[in-house]
Structure 1
Amino acid sequence: MTLAAAALLISAAHAAEPEPTPLVDQQHCMFCHTDNAAFLAPSFQQIAERYRNVPNAAAMLEHKLRMGGRAHWGDMAMPSPAERGGPLSAQDAHTLVQWVLSH
Structure 2
Amino acid sequence: MKRVLFAAVLGLGLAAPAFADLALATSKNCMSCHAVDRKVLGPSFKDIATKYKDDKGAVDTLATKIVKGGSGVWGPVPMPANNQVSEADAKKLATWVLATPR
TM tier relative to shorter chain: 0.7 to 0.9
Q: 1:97 aligns with which of 70, 91, 94?
A: 94
Contact 1:71 1:78 in 2 (8 A): no
Total equivalences in the alignment: 86
Q: Following superposition, which runs of at least 4 residues in structure 1 exceed 6 angstroms of deviation?
A: none
Task: Give the structure-2-normalised TM-score.
Answer: 0.73
Unaligned runs of 5+ in 1: 1-14
Give the C-alpha shift of residue 21 in structure 1.
Answer: 3.5
Task: Give the structure-1-normalised TM-score.
Answer: 0.72
Q: Distance in 2 between matches of 1:71 and 1:100?
A: 19
Q: Percent identity?
A: 34
Greater relative CO (CA pairs within 8 A, separation 6+): 1
Give, as a single letter, the amino acid of the residue that structure 1 aligns with 2:85.
L
Alignment of 1:24-35 (within 5 A): 24-35=25-36
Listed one character per residue, the Cα deviations across residues 20-75 of structure 1 (whole Å, up to 9, x for unaligned) are: 13421222111111111112111000000000221212111110111111231021
Unaligned runs of 5+ in 2: 1-13
Alignment of 1:57-76 (within 5 A): 57-76=58-77
Pick the structure with more helix per residue. Answer: 2
Give the C-alpha shift of residue 90 in structure 1.
Answer: 1.3
Cα RMSD, aligned residues only: 2.1
